[in-house]
Structure 1
Amino acid sequence: MPAETTRRRSVPLTVVSAFVAVSATVGAVGLMGGDILGPAVTARLPFASSLLAGITLAVVVAVPMAVCALLAAVGSRHTATAAVAAGVLLIGWVLVQPVIIRYFSWLQPFYGLLGVVVAWLGLRLRGRRP
């Protein structure tokens, strides 16, 4: 499959994963910079640390999504695997987060859906590769 065709097919994946990467980075910086969750929710975090929560968000969601976006943008043969991994990590984050913080937000199902979309796009891309 020509590289140009691969890049064209990866545009939706690039856009969605880049959006998630940027928003997760903003969220991680916000968490690391202060108490954006409020004292009651922050107290429920592991070690009651918004700094640790921000670092974890960056490592588990922002970095894998950024790698996925980059690979999708350049048409790498590793894009499909990165997309499935990043999507599953985001889904896992969204499923575990409300259990830990005992707080529900509309952002959780929204980002859960984006995780499903990223993983699905990765699976579709994998199916189109030889």
Structure 2
Amino acid sequence: MNMLVRVSRKSFLVLEFFNGLSALAGGIGLILNPDGKALGMNVEMLSATPFESFLIPGIVLFVVNGLGNTTDAVLTLRKHNMSAYVAAFLGFVLMVWIVSQVAWIGYQSFLQPLYFITGLAQVILAYVFVVKNTSSE
């Protein structure tokens, strides 16, 4: 395995854990406090969305972004042959999540562009890993 493949695997592993663990924490916060106040939000932010509270977004955040990324990070650690594809998919899902969030509730925090960028980086690094790993076979 060449150096670039090792670096990209480690990099998207870090991104998966970062995105996953922070989504688990945020999801738990929203599930336990669906009014959003514990995370500095309020339900008025949701007036233009189909949600009356942060419960459903919290569950989706916890399951998809949280459990999805942390589970794939474990697959990445175990060098599963599909982990890069899953990482790319989950990075794309995170970008869609952020774009949807900004479209519905507007720009609220520096965390929105931060997570969009980490999702994009996860997609790019997974792609680099897949391309370089396939071309070295």
* TM-score normalized by the length of structure 1: 0.85
Amino acid at match of 1:23: S
Aligned residue among 44, 58, 61 for 1:40: 44
Measure, in 2, the Cα distance between the counterparts of 1:39 and 1:93: 18
Give yes or no for the alignment of 1:14 onto 2:18.
no
Unmatched 5+ residue regions in structure 2?
none
* TM-score normalized by the length of structure 2: 0.82
Give yes or no for the alignment of 1:71 onto 2:55.
no
**Structure 1 residue 60: Cα displacement:** 2.9
Measure, in 1, the Cα distance between the counterparts of 2:14 and 2:59: 23
Measure, in 1, the Cα distance between the counterparts of 2:11 and 2:96: 22
Aligned residue among 128, 133, 137 for 1:129: 133
Give yes or no for the alignment of 1:95 onto 2:95.
no
**Structure 1 residue 29: Cα displacement:** 0.5
Amino acid at match of 2:98: V
> What's the C-alpha RMSD, in Å, of the aligned pairs?
2.2
* Identity across matched positions, percent: 29
1:97-112 to structure 2, matched below 5 A, reads: 97-112=101-116
Amino acid at match of 1:77: N
Give the helix-richer structure, 1 or 2.
1
- Give the total of aligned pairs: 128
Unmatched 5+ residue regions in structure 1?
none
Indicate conservation of the 8 Å contact 2:27/2:62, yes or no: yes
